[in-house]
Amino acid sequence: MARTISATVTINAAPAEVWAVLCDLARYPEWHPDIRRVTGTIQAGSQVVVGTVLPSSGRTVIRRLWVVAAQPGAELRLRPSPSSGREQSFTLSPVDSGTHTEVVNSSTIPGYLVWLAWPLFAALQTRLDRVNQALKYRAEQDPGTI
């Protein structure tokens, strides 16, 4: 049994424009509220290294994530290891004849970790909402990045 927490936002930009923001790893620190550094490439099978700030302590931790799916303009899925049940994903869907994008940002926690993570679900929901709003702002307000 896994638990998935999701947040949805509609962005006034085409899926290709939103995808370009998600793939511009060097610029994540400019818009993502928790990320200080990202290196790697967005393609299935590749690895990215992410420096994330822990909200509770302000300390930066380095994580390696595997890109398990990267469909341009449609889907990005990352895992701490290729076989992990834990997953972070962005699903992009065109709306309004493709001029807007619905983004579903999800975190899936596998069954064996659900009971440990239960107290953190509200904070995770807030984090997903914050990331969506930052992505929306970046894609809509700063088109020079894409």
| Domain ranges, residue 83 | 3-26+68-145
Phi, psi (5° rounding) for residue 99?
-85, -15
Overall number of domains in the chain: 1
Predicted confidence (pLDDT) at residue 106 exceeds the cutoff of 70: yes
Q: Is residue 59 part of a domain?
A: no
Distance (Å, rounded) from C-alpha 6 to C-alpha 17? 21
Residue 39 located in a structural domain? no
pLDDT category at 146 given cuts 50, 70, 90 is very low
Q: Is the overall model pTM greater than 0.85, yes or no?
A: yes
**Residue 8 domain flag:** yes
Identify the CATH number of the domain in which residue 128 sits.
3.30.530.20
Paired residues of 104 in beta bridges: 8, 91
The pairing of strands 100-109 and 87-95 is antiparallel
Give whole-number Cα distances, 41 to 46, 92, 118, 133, in Å. Answer: 7, 19, 32, 23
Q: Which amino acid is at 1?
A: M
Domain assignment of residue 15, yes or no: yes
Radius of gyration in angstroms for the set of CA atoms belonging to the chain, rounded to a whole number = 15
User: Residue 2: pLDDT above 90?
Assistant: no
Instruction: Quickly state the pLDDT bin for 114 (edges 50, 70, 90).
Output: low
Task: Judge whether 7 lies within some domain.
Answer: yes
